Chains A and B, each alone.
Chain A
Amino acid sequence: MDKEYVGFSALPSQLHRKSVKKGFDFTLMVAGESGLGKSTLINSLFLTNLYEDRQVPEASARLTRTLTIERRSVEIEEGGIKVKLTLVDTPGFGDAVDCSDCWLPVVRFIEEQFEQYLRDESGLNRKNIQDSRVHCCLYFISPFGRGLRPLDVAFLRAMHEKVNIIPVIGKADALMPKETQALKQKIRDQLKEEEINIYQFPECDSDEDEEFKRQDAEMKERIPFAVVGSSEVVRDGGTSRPVRGRCYSWGTVEVENPHHCDFLNLRRMLVQTHLQDLKEVTHDLLYEGYRARCLQSLARPGARDRTSRSKLSRQSATEIPLPMLPLAETEKLIREKDEELRRMQEMLEKMQAQMQQSQAPGEQSDSL
């Protein structure tokens, strides 16, 4: 039984050491109407006070406010592993009286990150590509509604092919257990009906034991997760140990109690087990889809065959000859020059019109 030991079984630990040194980047977007407990939940998830200096403007100020996209980063370290967590916030979403198209800036933002990555990837210096792509979007659904609202549906349909969506029900302590079940079922039905693809937590490996598989299946049944967040640690009268929770006159909700809400499930699935998978799906599926669409739209008729073949597989990337990229660049330059020409033409026309006006002072002049 003297097996010869080559040593490549040490590869995983080498990879591990390298990644630990490199650190992880993760970009998480939080979206949903204001007042659903998004910031509190993020603080609870990552045990940080990311939203300390936050000020929510009052209603009259929000009447004319447009959607903004805010980014804030924090470095979290745990067990020697560093994570650079970037949070993308969408204050103002769903606030206005007229929310038509209010999701467009968000969609545009996500595409811009893809665009940036595409450019970096095709550039000359690829050593330090900053990955600012959004790896996951936590979408908050109101516990007060009767399922997804029209705005929710519109947002999800615009975003589901561009980012991993994990729907959660915010402020879930508003619901009794039966109501939570009914709401979750309604949301699941609506998602199916509207053909919205949320992030699918992958199947367990076949070599996991039965207990683990059962737990995993149970957890997946709970989607969308009904969560409660809290930035306070309270002393629960009953157990007298400090817990993260919310104190009401009729009892205390414990954030980490699986009978009270699905916070633990969310944290486990999002942070502890699927962080890497979210990044991979973003890169392998969503980004590739964007990239293929982008390149296809730039492709000349002749070269279209090549791009369509390599639509979904990264392996055949080498088939796309490098000349494609310079072409893309020159195309862009040509477009920019066209724009400039057009602008100069417009200015010329304006100046001509003005000259005509000044030559005929007595006549009525139309405003330009």
Chain B
Amino acid sequence: MSKGLPETRSDAAMSELVPEPRPKPAVPMKPVSINSNLLGYVGIDTIIEQMRKKTMKTGFDFNIMVVGQSGLGKSTLVNTLFKSQVSRKAASWNREEKIPKTVEIKAIGHVIEEGGVKMKLTVIDTPGFGDQINNENCWEPIEKYINEQYEKFLKEEVNIARKKRIPDTRVHCCLYFISPTGHSLRPLDLEFMKHLSKVVNIIPVIAKADTMTLEEKSEFKQRVRKELEVNGIEFYPQKEFDEDLEDKTENDKIRQESMPFAVVGSDKEYQVNGKRVLGRKTPWGIIEVENLNHCEFALLRDFVIRTHLQDLKEVTHNIHYETYRAKRLNDNGGLPPGEGLLGTVLPPVPATPCPSAE
């Protein structure tokens, strides 16, 4: 269940074609305080505790997708992020894993629990992406999958007898793995992010960052940021969705200095200075995954899980999903799908990607 702010279905979004750039959805502004001087303790602040209790009871869904060439450590990184074997690791050398001929979409769900809070985590893997000789349009199956999840949610929403809690299979976050070439982005990276950044929250990460020295890392990040900007690619957190000044300053710092996060993943532990740490042991030293002097894994983890998890879900629901919904309604002549005639079947999911996703 997503804890979004109660939104009003904006009429504007229903009647006009979705222009570029997208109009901000009608999220109500923070209420202006009329009289903030209460005469005594009322107890409204306990709402936070009530919300917390509810979340703990119901738990929540989080769906994360990983995209990138094979061998960039995607599964290992997700396992490291959530400190459990949530991603089926195809990296074991003993198994005869053949690179699939087309991009496959594999979603695996796990329930993990921490501090009484249950999370149903789904990791969506995309083996085969970028591995062929000809990778033209290899992002299409991915885009199709994402739209299919929006469609599923839409169908549930327009039902007359709706479920109390619509199962949310929409992709909340897409980690895109950039190969640490040290030069710049590859043409495929640009193409993917151009097409998908309007449909899903993309968080670019630099994979296997233990091959770059500090200087190389910072130069590479600068170049990547510039290339993304020049090509008009808005990765998460998108500038246009900063709600207030506080968000903006916090996000600006992340956007302009930290991202893309240069990460290293590992599921092996080693002894360093008397402590057991996750890392990689080489003849010239041990790389500690959670050591900020070594790599930015901890920053990525804090960003995705500890500070922006809820926001990722909100942006997916309030913005990406709304854009999809508006487009579908437009296609259906302004009527909500299924309305008009009782028992009308929804028009089929468009096979081609939405034009707004260009």
Residues of A within 8 A of B (CB): 33-36, 56, 58-60, 62-63, 95-100, 142-146, 149-151, 154, 171, 173-174, 176-177, 182-183, 185-186, 246-254, 257, 259-260
Chain A residue numbers with a CB within 8 Å of B131 are 149-150
B286→A97 contact, CB < 8 A: no
Q: Complex formed: what's the CA distance from A151 to B93 in Å?
A: 20
B97 and A95 within 8 A (CB): no
In Å, the complex CA distance between A364 and B133 comes to 45
A34-B183, A145-B69, A173-B211 are contacts. A59–B134 as well, Cβ < 8 Å? no
Q: Answer whether A173 and B282 are a contact pair too, CB < 8 Å, given A145-B71, A249-B294.
A: yes
Per a CB cutoff under 8 Å, which of B93, B135, B223, B294 touches A250? B294
In the complex, the answer to whether A146 meets B183 with C-beta atoms within 8 Å is no
B187 adjacent to A151 (CB under 8 Å): no
| A250–B71 touching, CB < 8 Å | no
- Which of B97, B187, B283 is close to A260, meaning CB atoms less than 8 Å apart? B283
Q: Hey, which chain A residues are within 8 Å of B213, CB to CB? A: 246-248
Which residues from A are CB-within-8-Å of B230? Answer: 60
Given the known interface contacts A142-B71, A174-B211, the answer about A95 and B293 at a Cβ–Cβ threshold of 8 Å is no
- Distance of A336 Cα from B190 Cα, bound (Å): 46
Interface membership of B151, Cβ < 8 A: no
Binding site for A on B (CB under 8 A): 69-72, 91, 93, 97, 99, 131-136, 179-191, 207-208, 210-211, 213-214, 223, 227, 230-231, 280-288, 293-294
Could you list 7 A-B pairs, sorted by A, with CB under 8 Å? A59-B187, A59-B189, A59-B190, A60-B230, A143-B211, A146-B70, A173-B282
Q: CA separation between A150 and B284, bound complex, in Å?
A: 32
CB pair B283–A177 under 8 Å, yes or no, is: yes
Whether A252 touches B284, Cβ cut-off 8 Å, given contacts A59-B189, A60-B190, A97-B191, is yes
Given contacts A60-B190, A249-B214, A250-B287, contact A146 B282 (CB under 8 A): no
- Cα A254 to Cα B285 in complex, Å, equals 12
**Chain B neighbourhood of A99, CB < 8 A:** 133-135
A36, A251, A259: which has the most chain B beta carbons within 10 Å? A251
Known A63-B187, A95-B186: A174·B208 in contact at CB below 8 Å: yes
Question: Which 6 residue pairs across A and B have the least CB separation, nearest first?
Answer: A35-B181, A251-B285, A250-B285, A251-B284, A182-B93, A59-B185
Closest to B130 in A: A97
In the complex, the answer to whether A97 meets B136 with C-beta atoms within 8 Å is yes
Given A144-B69, A176-B280, A250-B294, the answer on whether A60 and B227 have CB atoms closer than 8 Å is yes
> Does B183 lie within 8 Å of A56, measured CB to CB?
yes
| Min CB–CB distance B102 → chain A (angstroms) | 13
Q: Which residues of A contact B179 (CB under 8 A)?
A: 35, 144
Chain B residues with CB below 8 A from A96, complex form: 187
Q: How far is A177 from B133 in the complex, measured between Cα atoms in Å?
A: 29
- Contact with B133, one of A62, A150, A171, A185 (Cβ below 8 angstroms): A150
The answer to whether A171 touches B211, judged by C-beta atoms less than 8 angstroms apart, is yes
Most A CB contacts (10 A, CB to CB) among B187, B284, B294 go to B284
Give bound CA distance, A218 to B46, whole Å: 71
Which chain A residues lie closer than 8 Å to B70 at the CB level?
Answer: 145-146
Residues from chain A with a CB closer than 8 A to the CB of B191 are 63, 97
Bound complex: CA A63 to CA B284 (Å)? 38
Give the residues in chain B near A98, CB-CB below 8 Å: 133-136
Instruction: Give the distance in Å from the alpha carbon of A176 to the alpha carbon of B287 in the complex.
Output: 10
A35, A99, A247, A250 interface centre (most CB from chain B within 10 Å): A250
Cα(A253)–Cα(B285), bound, Å: 9
8 other A-B residue contacts (CB within 8 Å) besides A63-B187, A176-B280: A56-B184, A100-B134, A146-B71, A146-B97, A149-B99, A246-B213, A251-B282, A253-B284
Cβ–Cβ contact A60 & B133, under 8 A: no
B164 to A: closest C-beta gap in Å: 45
A56 to B133, CA, bound (A): 22
Please give, as numbers and ranges, the residues of chain B lying within 8 Å of A247 by CB-CB distance: 213
Task: Let me know if A146 and B91 touch, CB within 8 A.
Answer: yes
Q: Assess whether B135 is in contact with A58, with CB atoms less than 8 Å apart.
A: no
**Which of B136, B231, B284 meets A60, CB within 8 Å?**
B231
Cα of A100 to Cα of B70 in the assembled complex, Å: 19
Contacts of B132 in A (CB 8 A): 150
Whether B190 pairs with A63 at a CB distance below 8 angstroms is yes
